[in-house]
Amino acid sequence: MDRIRIVGGNALNGIIPISGAKNAALPLMIASLLTSDTLTLENVPHLADVEGLIRILGNHGVDIAVNGRREHQDGSYSRTVHFTCRTVADTTAPYELVSKMRASFWVIGPLLAREGQARVSLPGGCAIGTRPVDLFIEGLTALGAEMEIDGGYINAKAPKGGLIGARYTFPKVSVGATHVMLMAASLARGTTVIGNAAREPEVVDLANCLIAMGAKISGAGTSTITIEGVPSLSGARHRVLPDRIETGTYAMAVAMTGGDVTLAGTELGLLDTAIEAIRRAGAEVSAVEGGIRVIGHGDAIRPVDIVTEPFPGFPTDLQAQFMGLMTRANGVSHVTETIFENRFMHVQELARLGAKITLSGQTARIEGVSRLRGAPVMATDLRASVSLVIAGLAAEGETMVSRVYHLDRGFERLEEKLTRCGAVVERISD
């Protein structure tokens, strides 16, 4: 099993290219099930989750063609991938595939909308809370689907003639359930109005792609989305938006280690709240041509309290990274997690590096320390694992991060991007 070795203490300087967003690419790929034409996606990142979903879509009959690597001088690459589902080969998404990645559960929406039926295993994914599927079930039921849980699977069936547009308000905000409702309602008969919809940029990206495919959608990016169902969707060409979580992660790494880095191919508007928190912590962050410039001042980190919230609030997917940054702040800060339970598993690993963190319910109290010291640590989930990398970059000596397969699910070429900016980071394959 691979590990990542980090020797801390170096400031970061240079350019880090930001990849296409994993959290946008996955629902966009799943949208290919809605049409018999070809959906072409540009800027698709090379990640374990993307490769896993490609295998899942292949099981449903999606033909996938990759245009190969497109090399750049800065060493990054993006891919253009063509997805064609002439005929749905199988409406069952089996446990052995869905259990490995939660987002694969989202195929239930397009399969129901296009084929009128679906049998999908209950999902797996990161162990950061139960994340129940009740919102998906309630939303699809509102569109007329019959939903039954049997033997670890959800058996779903649309009414004769297909799903029916309806008005449904989510009791709590859910990005995944909003994705599924958008896709399912696009082919439903009549008009669907989604209340308390997720407002994340990835939801807007999916809506824009569906519109390019012929869907009639308005209000994406607000809490109320209206979808007028159409009989069919066509193919389209769409570019995956930049990864705002990767953007915020590297910005926090620079804020913690010091240095001057341009994050290329991204934009401030994708994560205003997180950028403001990074600025309050003492880093300089500004828009520049082609990206964002971050200047960190290392030892002059100020304590900042944050609370995770749905967009446009502070992203839960940046909570662990920000906690890593706060371990070196000159004072006490508080991080409150409101989205997922059990998302503080990185705390005990940060403590191995010398962090002083105490937990009280869903709030962590972080007392900044003058220095961290390298140690062997273990990744527990995707975002927690990269928080350990950030902390290791600022720690004295060597940090060895094990179970880095979590990192491969969401960060493209992490070691290479950091190394090009002066970090000492290497992957060790046992």
Q: Which residues are annotated as a binding site?
A: 22-23, 102, 131-135, 172-175, 317, 339
Do 61 and 93 meet the contact criterion of CB atoms below 8 Å apart?
no
58 to 32, 64, 87, 407: CA distances (angstroms): 11, 7, 11, 24
Q: Which residues line the annotated binding site for UDP-N-acetyl-alpha-D-glucosamine?
A: 102, 131-135, 172-175, 317, 339
Q: Is 421 a catalytic residue?
A: no
Q: What is d(CA 180, CA 174) in angstroms, rounded to the nearest whole number?
A: 10
The per-residue b/e assignment along 217-252, b for 16 or more CB within 10 angstroms, e otherwise, is: beebbeeebbbebbeebebbebbbbbbbbbbbbbbb
Q: Is the dihedral of CA 94, 89, 114, 58 positive or negative?
A: positive
Q: What is d(CA 114, CA 126) in angstroms, rounded to the nearest whole number?
A: 29
Do 144 and 163 meet the contact criterion of CB atoms below 8 Å apart?
yes
Tokens of 43: 């800027």
* Other beta carbons less than 10 A from residue 328's beta carbon: 26
Do 254 and 230 meet the contact criterion of CB atoms below 8 Å apart?
no
Q: What is d(CA 33, CA 60) in angstroms, rounded to the nearest whole number?
A: 8
Do 190 and 229 meet the contact criterion of CB atoms below 8 Å apart?
yes
| Cβ partners under 8 Å of residue 357, min gap 6 | 323, 327, 347, 350, 351, 364, 365, 366, 367
Q: What is d(CA 80, CA 315) in angstroms, rounded to the nearest whole number?
A: 28
Q: What is d(CA 181, CA 227) in angstroms, rounded to the nearest whole number?
A: 9
Burial (CB < 10 A; 0-12, 13-18, 19+), residue 71, is: exposed
In sequence order, the β-bridge partners of residue 217 are 227
Q: Which residues line the annotated binding site for phosphoenolpyruvate?
A: 22-23
Which DSSP symbol is given to 355?
A: -
What φ, ψ does residue 10 adopt, rounded to 5°? Answer: -95, 135
Q: Just list the catalytic residues.
A: 126
